[in-house]
């Protein structure tokens, strides 16, 4: 006894499926009902599909193996809806401040490039990594080693200075032999261009600190006692820069704090 | 009911964990069953359910109204897809093992009160197992739509919201999924007797 399986095209299958769910419009429903009366194969296909759906719906739901509720004492409450609070404001301000610093730094570099070779050569006396520390070797000779401040005396103290001195003393000839030193000094000058403006206020603030005996011993006889700060770094620019740095730090701090809270 | 749910959601968004727990109690059975039918094993379903509620709790602030159930089911669906993707990358569990686990985990069927004979009970049990096996064998997108419609009782538009598919796609996946299951039942001669079609019945 051969079994004849009703085969439907996708459209009819979809119509029957939707008809079972009562999802056909009035016209489509009337049409499919008419066909079901007239077409025995379609009616059998409908019966089979309906039996399958019924078997699915008869599946008994499973009981969860445990409760999925949270312990209020353990779970941190969800973060409130995003709003423009002080923290978010600081983050946004931090981004703008970072852009401002980059812009002013770029302008400073351009200004120092245009100022000529002697200023560029003097820049290596201010290390790029730590601007506040960098102020010490620049200012120390002027404050505590006044007799050594003359340029022609530079090689003599360098010989008797500690190990750190030899590194910086190596930079000293750059002042004398600008043509050879320029290619080497240029990248350093560019790197130092950003912190350079901060060196100027540090001179006045850091003067008492650098006059301590320990600091004085380590300070090499820098051959450039005059401040190498570019002319572009006026007091108003420096003020803006310092504010911008503070805002960037505050914005970054808020971001880190939020991130650590959300990770909990 | 909807207003009570809305109140719970609003309170939970303000950080009230107990209100969120009330929502968990309301939906944990349905979310677990959705995960179980998608994944085919109890342990995986429990983990996916836990992950779903945790994700819902953490992201409650981005819920902007509408149907909380649809939003939660969508999260649960994503959690299941994550598990399924991980299984594909590291197929520690074969399809056969999944089916065997599904059968092992399945709730024992109770004999119906209305004088069901042992034969009828055995047939009903076999039918349930065949449906569970068939569900696991369906393509994932069809399986999801069949589960949401026939096991969870969602309307087409809500299924579209949960799955992110349009209505036409939902209808198509549903009809194809049902047809595949029908074929499985046919092969096992598990369709009720009156629906089996012999040649003599053809007019």
Residue A66: Cβ within 10 Å count: 11
Rg (CA), chain B: 19
Give the other-Cβ count within 10 Å of A68's Cβ. Answer: 21
Residues 74-113 of A with CB under 8 A from B: 75, 77-82
ipTM: 0.84
Please report residues of B whose CB lies closer than 8 A to that of A88: none
CA B159 to chain centre: 12
Q: Is the pLDDT of residue A183 over 80?
A: no
Q: List, for residues A75-114, the tens digit of each pLDDT value.
A: 766 655 555 566 677 777 777 777 878 887 788 777 776 6
Contact (CB<8Å) B46/A57: no
Phi first, then psi, for residue A118 (nearest 5°) are -55, -40
Residue A170 has pLDDT above 60, yes or no: no
Nearest CA distance, B139 vs chain A (angstrom): 16
State the nearest Cα–Cα gap between B126 and chain A, in angstroms.
11
Q: Say how far apart CA B16 and CA B23 lie, in whole Å.
A: 11
Read off the pLDDT of residues B84-125 as tens digits, 9 standing for 90 and up. Answer: 999 988 766 555 666 566 556 655 555 555 677 888 888 888
- Note the pTM of the prediction, 2 decimals: 0.58
Mean pLDDT of chain B: 86
List the 7-36 stretch of A: residues with Cβ below 8 A of B: 8, 10, 13-14, 16-18, 21, 23
Highest mean pLDDT among A134-138, B137-141, B198-202: B137-141
Chain B: closest CA distance from residue A252 (Å): 23
Question: Tens digits of per-residue pLDDT, A124-136?
Answer: 444 443 334 333 3
Q: Do B176 and A77 touch (CB under 8 A)?
A: no
Please tell me the least confidently modeled range out of A120-124, A241-245, B96-100.
A120-124
Say what the pLDDT of residue A91 is: 75
Question: Taking CB atoms and an 8 Å limit, are A75 and B156 in contact across chains?
Answer: no
Q: Fill in the DSSP letter of residue B193.
A: G
pLDDT (0 to 100) of residue B97: 62
Give the tens place of pLDDT for each residue, B118-127.
Answer: 888 888 888 8
Best A59, A67, A72 member to test B by mutation, with max B CBs in 10 Å, is A59
- Which H or E run contains A257? helix A235-262
Cα separation of A22 and B80, whole Å? 29
Residue B177 banded pLDDT, cuts 50, 70, 90 = very high
């Amino acid at each position: 006894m051969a079994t004849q399986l009703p085969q439907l095209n996708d459209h009819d299958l979809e119509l029957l499926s939707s008809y079972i769910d009562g999802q056909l419009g009035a016209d489509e429903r009337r049409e499919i009902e008419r066909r079901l009366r007239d077409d025995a194969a379609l009616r059998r296909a409908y019966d089979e599909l309906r039996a399958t759906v019924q078997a699915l719906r008869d599946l008994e739901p499973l009981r969860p193996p445990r409760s999925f509720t949270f312990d209020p004492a353990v779970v941190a409450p969800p973060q409130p809806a995003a709003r423009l609070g002080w923290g978010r404001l600081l983050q946004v301000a931090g981004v703008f401040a970072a852009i401002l610093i980059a812009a002013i730094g770029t302008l400073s570099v351009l200004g120092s490039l245009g100022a000529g070779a002697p200023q560029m050569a003097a820049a290596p006396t201010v290390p790029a990594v730590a601007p506040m520390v960098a102020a010490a070797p620049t200012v120390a000779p002027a404050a505590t080693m006044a007799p050594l401040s003359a340029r022609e005396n530079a090689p003599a103290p360098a010989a008797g200075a500690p190990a750190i001195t030899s590194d910086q003393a190596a930079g000293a000839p750059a002042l004398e032999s600008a043509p050879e030193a320029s290619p080497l000094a240029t990248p350093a000058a560019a790197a130092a261009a950003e912190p350079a403006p901060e060196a100027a206020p540090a001179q006045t603030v850091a003067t008492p600190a650098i006059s301590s005996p320990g600091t004085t011993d380590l300070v090499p006889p820098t051959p450039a006692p005059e401040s190498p700060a570019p002319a572009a770094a006026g007091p108003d620019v420096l003020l803006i820069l310092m504010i911008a740095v503070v805002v960037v730090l505050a914005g970054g701090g808020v971001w880190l704090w939020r991130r650590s809270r959300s990770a909990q | 009911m909807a207003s009570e749910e809305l109140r719970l959601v609003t309170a939970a968004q303000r950080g009230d964990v107990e209100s969120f727990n009330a929502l968990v109690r309301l939906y944990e059975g349905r979310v677990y069953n959705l995960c179980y039918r998608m994944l085919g094993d109890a342990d995986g379903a429990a983990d996916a359910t836990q992950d779903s509620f945790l994700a819902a709790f953490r992201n409650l602030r981005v819920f902007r109204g509408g149907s909380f159930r649809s939003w939660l089911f969508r999260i649960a669906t994503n959690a299941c897809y994550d598990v399924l993707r991980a299984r594909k990358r590291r197929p520690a569990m074969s399809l056969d093992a999944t089916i065997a686990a599904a059968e092992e985990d399945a709730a024992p069927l109770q004999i119906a009160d209305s004088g069901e004979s042992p034969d009828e009970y055995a047939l009903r049990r076999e039918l349930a197992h065949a449906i569970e096996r068939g569900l696991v064998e369906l393509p994932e997108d069809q399986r999801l739509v069949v589960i949401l419609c026939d096991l969870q009782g969602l309307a087409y538009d809500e299924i579209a919201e949960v799955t992110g598919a349009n209505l036409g796609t939902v209808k198509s996946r549903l009809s194809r999924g049902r047809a595949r299951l029908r074929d499985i039942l046919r092969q096992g001669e598990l369709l009720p007797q009156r629906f089996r079609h012999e040649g003599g019945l053809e007019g």
